[in-house]
């Protein structure tokens, strides 16, 4: 029987492997863990979540919410696992990382059509149907091979992960549970700050010791995952209008809105661990302990994992990838996930679905598909494969989704987004129904 090689068992890789087997095709899934780990990975299982345990909004009026619903149409294993491992997070979909990863790992390892090979791939097989889904932390050897294959220098940016601490170490004589504008359940821990407390924290933050990066790398931080200390350097109130914004939060002890507030989000089902929302960082570990303990309520915080900064690599997709996500020069080689320039967990996973579908179609001598840009997945793929001078990573958002004139004239923004979502999901269902008839 024919097979497809998938390199990498991250979010995109597991989606690709999963959808391929839906068509009765065998998969050879290569994953270098547990033999070798990247600097940011620690868990042995597949689809490890590194930056955050949140998969963003569940609301259909948010592009991330629409993207999740589209993925469900295509039998997404990521969404299946997320529903199984979810933890309370208000209007966001957050998961217990270990349960999430273990669920996917068990499913794929018990799939008779998938052969898991725990080895590092240092060179892409040029004579096979292959999907490269090695993520932003691709190993140096494989990255060098990709660079040779694409005849270009590697593009890269930096990503950062937030610290995680224990709930029991939070001082609830100062912190309190609440949700912004009292919407949903009180799922977030809130640490309020007075003006004096905020200014003290701010000054220590911007003057703290950070992990050094080369001068030519300092401007390559992606806006969607900006380290808290880099954001703070833009102005004294920048983070107070960003991750520390107090709007919609009332301190029950004062009955007033704080000057600033730090929010903590549940990290695991048991609710014993919480992460600092928006606190991606490249502060040195001793500095993280010192500076973040200046936050009221976190004076004795017990950090079980400090924030980390790591190099993320991605290819110049508009130049080298077709709309099908395969290389223009090597049609049998597909790329999926963050290495293509999509940014975000769900975005990465969604490209794995499309790469898996198109690799399967080509393997069987069928015409690959292009989801229209009226869908969220289609719009993302259109964005990363459309020729542009300054290619930067992109999250899902309604701004990149194509709409007709009738929808564009709708004044109510939420109703307009609902209309876009309805049309998008109908397109996805019709497309997937057609795909299933081809196998």
Q: Is the pLDDT of residue 386 over 60?
A: yes
| Cα separation values, 12 from 80, 112, 176, 344, 353, Å | 14, 20, 37, 11, 7
Residue bearing the bigger pLDDT, 15 or 224? 15
Q: Is the pLDDT of residue 1 over 60?
A: no
pLDDT tier at 343 (50, 70, 90 boundaries)? confident
What average pLDDT score do residues 95-124 get?
96
In 129-181, the DSSP E strands lie at 130-132, 155-160, 164-166, 176-178
Task: Kindly report the average pLDDT of the chain as a whole number.
Answer: 91
Question: Under DSSP, is residue 123 helix (H, G, I), strand (E, B) or coil?
Answer: coil
What average pLDDT score do residues 149-161 get?
71
What average pLDDT score do residues 153-175 get?
83
pLDDT value for 272: 86
SS3 content of the chain, % helix, strand, coil (to 5): 35, 20, 45
pLDDT value for 403: 87
Could you give the percent of the chain with pLDDT greater than 70?
Answer: 92
Q: Are 57 and 414 in contact (CB under 8 A)?
A: no
**Per the structure block, which two tokens stand in for 191?**
């640490």
For residue 6, the cross-strand partners are 29, 131
Angle CA 183–187–188, to nearest 5 = 100
For residue 132, the cross-strand partners are 7, 335
pTM of the model: 0.80
Residue bearing the bigger pLDDT, 304 or 435? 435
Q: Is the pLDDT of residue 153 over 80?
A: no
Residue bearing the bigger pLDDT, 218 or 8? 8
Q: Is the pLDDT of residue 433 over 60?
A: yes
Q: Is the pLDDT of residue 331 over 70?
A: yes
pLDDT value for 138: 85
What average pLDDT score do residues 126-152 get?
89
Distance CA 1, CA 286 (A): 55
Closest by alpha carbon to 135, among 380, 376, 340? 340
What average pLDDT score do residues 135-144 get?
86
Residue bearing the bigger pLDDT, 327 or 402? 327
Quick: pLDDT tens for 393-409.
Answer: 888 988 899 888 888 88
**Per the structure block, which two tokens stand in for 56?**
């963003």
Distance CA 345, CA 213 (A): 25
What average pLDDT score do residues 235-255 get?
95
Query: Which range is least confidently modeled, 16-30, 96-110, 176-190?
Result: 176-190
Q: Are 368 and 324 in contact (CB under 8 A)?
A: yes
Nearby residues of 177 by Cβ (< 8 Å), 6 or more positions away: 186, 187, 188, 189, 190
pLDDT value for 220: 59
Distance CA 212, CA 282 (A): 9
Nearby residues of 132 by Cβ (< 8 Å), 6 or more positions away: 7, 8, 124, 142, 146, 333, 334, 335, 336, 339
Quick: pLDDT tens for 273-301.
Answer: 899 999 999 899 999 999 999 999 999 99
Distance CA 387, CA 334 (A): 18
Q: Is the pLDDT of residue 219 over 70?
A: no
pLDDT tier at 214 (50, 70, 90 boundaries)? low
Question: Under DSSP, is residue 205 helix (H, G, I), strand (E, B) or coil?
Answer: helix
State the distance between the two ends of the chain, measured CA to CA, in whole angstroms: 14
Q: Is the pLDDT of residue 360 over 60?
A: yes
What average pLDDT score do residues 240-244 get?
95
Q: Cβ–Cβ contacts within 10 Å for residue 431, how many?
A: 20
pLDDT value for 154: 55
Query: What burial class does residue 191 get, using C-beta atoms within 10 Å of its C-beta: 0-12 exposed, 13-18 middle, 19+ buried?
Result: buried
């Amino acid at each position: 029987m024919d097979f497809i090689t998938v390199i990498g068992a991250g979010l995109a890789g597991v989606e690709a492997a999963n959808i391929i087997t839906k068509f009765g095709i065998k998969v050879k899934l290569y994953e270098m863990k547990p033999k070798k780990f990247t600097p940011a990975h620690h868990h042995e299982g597949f689809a490890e979540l590194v930056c955050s345990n949140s998969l963003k909004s569940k609301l259909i009026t948010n592009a991330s919410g629409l993207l999740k619903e589209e993925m469900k149409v295509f039998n997404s294993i990521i969404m299946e696992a997320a529903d199984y491992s979810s933890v309370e997070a208000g209007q966001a979909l957050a998961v217990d990382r270990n349960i999430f990863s273990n669920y996917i790992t068990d499913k794929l390892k018990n799939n008779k059509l998938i052969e898991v090979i725990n080895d590092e791939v240092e060179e892409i097989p040029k004579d096979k149907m292959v999907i490269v889904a090695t993520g932003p932390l691709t190993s140096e050897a494989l990255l060098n091979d990709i660079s040779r294959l694409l005849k270009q220098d590697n593009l890269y940016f930096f990503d950062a992960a937030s610290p995680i601490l224990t709930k029991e170490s939070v001082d609830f004589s100062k912190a309190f549970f609440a949700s912004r504008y009292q919407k949903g359940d009180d799922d977030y821990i809130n640490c309020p700050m007075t003006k004096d407390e905020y200014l003290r924290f701010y000054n220590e933050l911007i003057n703290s010791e950070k992990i050094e990066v080369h001068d030519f790398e300092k401007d390559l931080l992606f806006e969607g995952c900006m380290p808290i200390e880099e954001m703070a350097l833009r102005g004294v109130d920048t983070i107070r209008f960003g991750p520390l914004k107090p709007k919609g939060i009332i301190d029950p002890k004062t009955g007033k809105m704080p000057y600033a507030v730090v929010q903590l989000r549940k990290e695991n089902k048991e609710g014993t661990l919480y992460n600092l929302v928006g606190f991606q960082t490249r502060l040195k570990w001793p500095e993280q302990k010192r500076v973040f303990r200046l936050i009221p309520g976190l004076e004795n915080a017990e950090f079980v994992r400090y924030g980390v900064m790591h190099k993320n690599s991605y290819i110049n997709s508009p130049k080298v990838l077709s709309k099908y996500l395969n290389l223009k020069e090597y049609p049998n080689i597909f790329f999926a996930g963050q290495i293509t320039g999509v940014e975000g967990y769900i975005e990465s996973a969604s490209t794995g679905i499309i790469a898996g579908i198109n690799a399967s179609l080509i393997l069987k001598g069928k015409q690959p598909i292009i989801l229209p840009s009226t869908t969220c997945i289609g719009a993302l793929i259109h964005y990363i494969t459309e020729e542009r001078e300054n290619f930067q990573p992109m999250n899902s958002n309604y701004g990149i989704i194509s709409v007709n004139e009738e929808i564009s004239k709708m004044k109510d923004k939420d109703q307009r987004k609902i209309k876009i979502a309805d049309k998008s999901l109908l397109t996805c269902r019709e497309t997937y129904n057609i795909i299933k008839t081809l196998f």
